[in-house]
Each structure stands twice: as C-alpha cells, then as structure tokens.
Amino acid sequence: MSSPTWLEGVFPALVTPFERADESLDESAFRHLIQFCLPACDGLVTGGTTGEFHTLSRQERKRLVEIAVGEAEGKPVIAGSGASGTTEAIDIAIDAQDAGASALLVVTPYFLHPSDKGVYQHYSQIAARVDLPIILYNIPQVVDRVLPRPVVEDLADIDNVVAIKDSSGDLTYTMEILEFVGDRIQVLIGHDEVVLPALAGGAAGMILASAQIYPEVWQAVKQFVNEGNLTAARNAQRQVQKLSRIFCRHGGGVAVKAALNAMGVRVGRPRAPLKAVGGALSHENRAEIRLELEKIGKIEPKPSDFAYPSGDLADRFSDLNVDAEMIESHLMKVGSGQSGKDINQVQIDIIAGAKSGPLGDAYAVQMTYPIHGREALAAILEPALTIRPATLIMPSLPQRDLRQANMIYGPVQLAISRAIANALADGEITRDDVDNQVMIASVTVHPKALDRHDIYLSALDAATQALQMVTSAVVGDLRTQEVA
C-alpha cells in the first residue's frame, strides 16, 4: 500500500469535549469544534494524545470516530487507536475501521515497555488485522520510550504501514527517520515548535494540537516551504511560536482547551485527574495564552482603562504619604522616565530623600506593611547583592497575576539596579547619597506586556532618564518636574 497523498496536509489533533457535570462526552461541542476548524484543515484526528485517549473508553473512542466521519464532509479521519496492550489496540483499531476511519494512528506500547521485537510484533499484529493505513506514533515525552529507528525500518516494509508521526521534537531523530525510511513511508511532524525545520528537512505534513487553533498559519508555513520561501515561512511560524511552545510544554490538550474556551469554542475541562488550572496549567499560563491569542487576532482584546501616570510628578507618590509640600520642605528630589513602544513601554518615577526624613519612614513602612498587590521589593543586582543607595521598586498598579508581577519583579528590578549602578560609577550619585539617602521607584508596566527582554531594555532607559532628572535637579525645585 503506497502512502496516501492526502497525508501531505494539516491535521488537527482534536481535543475531546466533556460535559461539565459528569465528564461524559459532549457530542454537540465536538461537532461544533469540527465545524470550527474543518475549513482550514485537510482532515481530522480523533482520540489522540490531545484528545485524552488514555481516559476514554473503547465505546467513546469509536463514537468520536463516528461523529468525525459524519461531520468531515468527505475529508479523511485519522483515528487514534493506541493502547498499551496489543489485544486492546486491535479491538480499538477494528472499531475505528468499522466506524469509517481513513487511517489509524497507533502509539508505541507504554507503561511496561516491551523489547524491540515486542514493539515490532505489536504493530505488525495490528496491521495484519485491519485493512486501513497505519501511522506509527513516536511520542517519548509521555510514553517514556523512543520508537527505535531500526524497528521503524522493519515496520516500513509492512504494506499498510504508510507513515510515522514524530512528536518527539527531537530533530536529530526526525532527520534519521527521514534518512532511513523517508523513501518508503511519509514522516508527519507532531511537535508544534519544530514544524518549519521538519518540513524543510522533508516531512510531508503535520498532525498538531495547535492546528485546531491556527490551522491557516500551518497551511501558510507549508506552502512557503514548498515554494522555497523560507523567510516567509519563518515569519509565519514565529508569530505563533510562543503559543506552540505553551501547547507542547504545558499539558497539550489542557492548554489547547484553555485556548479554545477563550476563543468562544466551548470544549469544557480536561477529564480527571487532569486540571485546567492549578495543575497542568497555571493561572499565569492561561493569562499568557489569552494575550497571545489577542496578538494573532483570534480573540478581541478585553477593554482596559489602563493609562500611564501623568500630570504633576510630585503628586505621584501620594501612596507613600508624600506630597509636593513635603518633597520641597524635606529637600527630596524626583525624576521620571518613559521608554519603549506599545505594550512594551515602561514608565519609572523615582523619588530620593534622606534616610532620616519622611522618605526613610515611607521606605520602612513599605517594607513592613506593603500594599497588597503592589508589594515593594528591594533593588538587587544579583542574589544577596542589594543596590545602594537603598532602593525599593514598587508597582504603580495592582499585579493581577504572577505573569504581570514577573515583569516588574524580574527584568524591571534588574534594569533599575543596573541604572543605579551605572549612575554611581559615573559619579552622578555621590558617596554621600549612598550613605544617607533612600530611593523609591514607582514602576508602570502595561498589563499585557509579554517580552521580558524588551521590558528590560525599556526599563533600563526609563530608569536612566529618571535618575538623570533626580541627580541634576535643584533640591526642592519642582517647577520643571511635570511630565505629560
């Protein structure tokens, strides 16, 4: 049996929707999911890893195939037919054939690992019992075993073994398989992060969890590779690289279900014992998924009343119980800087004053009684190396999740510390300042900021600007300290 040409396409590894109340199959939601992604796909894959096959009964797996065949509008349906036992896998394969599947996706035996000979016999016995094309399935990150290349070589001689799906993400393995059996069976890439290099190396198509989220991107990548336009292919993949990474590394179907639900395609929660949040997928990753979906136009951005602080700089430190009159009377200095573009813009407002004055008291209060969600953190260059003058970094806005907080208590913290160290090295901050002053930096980062490196560069520039204002200001003179 020669490899079907239809395998040279984009196939979504569909999630399996479950009812919220009892975790039974949600057939209506599954149909809607198929209708949602089918137009941009070349076929469908049911009951795979993303489909949580390990939690499905034999009857449920067959039912998924039946529904998919009925909804596929003539496009091929690949049925996940793997099991740890050969007898069970044969039964599931026969069910899929009876349900109208176009091909079978059969995973390497898992849990108790057979010898190479046992792996070969597992596949060969399934192949002998069905007439459908069989796709071998290598996914060592969950099976805990690589499908050995010599076994793949031998299996490639079986008439109805037509392809291998490689989800390992190991391009060395992918290229070895292409080298030894690429002229006999097709190689399908199953790891979303490495689609472009796999296609460029000779892979024929793809079976991906993310193909139900952005199949049009993978269609474009494949077309660009076929045309030899690698620059366009790289640009296409890079726009979804972060989402692809999250899907691959944070629970496959768990993360994909979070994305689909955010897009309004209701597929429910994972089946126990997997958890949508607090387990396989953290709240921070869920927030990042949503932001990435906004970036590629899959969902509308949530309305936001976010704005960078503006107006009189002296009024921006009221949360510290410090006002303009106090700044002037106690010889404090203030400065502000803003740098970066769009959501990577950072604003930093700095106030400096004597340890023995009201700012020193405010410093101590923030260390002892921090404002919830805006907890102040000491500026450090590296662990156990606190910057001097002693400086606190304080978000101007409540941090809604750990992802937001990590932008400030991370790249911004380091950027401010480096800016202070640079000012000290350049003599802009004096030895007297080091010994007798404290500083507090109020930091504003866009709630949707994602790029840690860009945020660091923006914060470094903004902090440098603010420190230049502080160190060059006439003590207590606030007349020029107004920033729009």
Asked about 369 being catalytic, the answer comes back as: no
Enumerate the H helices of 182-282 as residue ranges: 195-201, 215-227, 230-238, 241-249, 253-262
Residue that has been written with the tokens 């006439």 in this structure: 474
Closest Cα partner for 24 from 46, 57, 65, 2?
Answer: 57
Q: What share of the chain is helix, strand, coil (3-state, %, to 5)?
A: 50, 15, 35
Q: How many CA atoms lie within 13 A of 303 on its CB side?
A: 1
Let me know: does 357 contact 330? Beta carbons within 8 Å: yes
Closest Cα partner for 356 from 475, 433, 437, 474?
Answer: 437
CA distance 125 to 247: 33
- Report the Cα–Cα distance between both ends of the chain, in Å, rounded: 71
| DSSP H or E run through 456 | helix 452-472
Strand partners, 312: 482
CA distance 425 to 316: 28
Residue that has been written with the tokens 């790249």 in this structure: 411
CA distance 66 to 46: 10
Task: Quote the tokens at residue 305.
Answer: 């009343």
Task: Quote the tokens at residue 406.
Answer: 């990590």
Let me know: does 127 contact 163? Beta carbons within 8 Å: no
Let me know: does 366 contact 358? Beta carbons within 8 Å: no
Enumerate the H helices of 322-372 as residue ranges: 324-329, 358-368
Three-state SS sequence of 116-159: HHHHHHHHHHHHHHCCCCEEEEECHHHHCCCCCHHHHHHHCCCC
Catalytic residue among 75, 120, 123, 165: 165
Let me know: does 264 contact 258? Beta carbons within 8 Å: no
Is 150 exposed, middle or buried (CB count within 10 Å of its CB: 0-12, 13-18, 19+)?
A: exposed
Catalytic residue among 120, 123, 137, 214: 137
Let me know: does 2 contact 253? Beta carbons within 8 Å: no
By annotation, the residues acting in catalysis are 137, 165
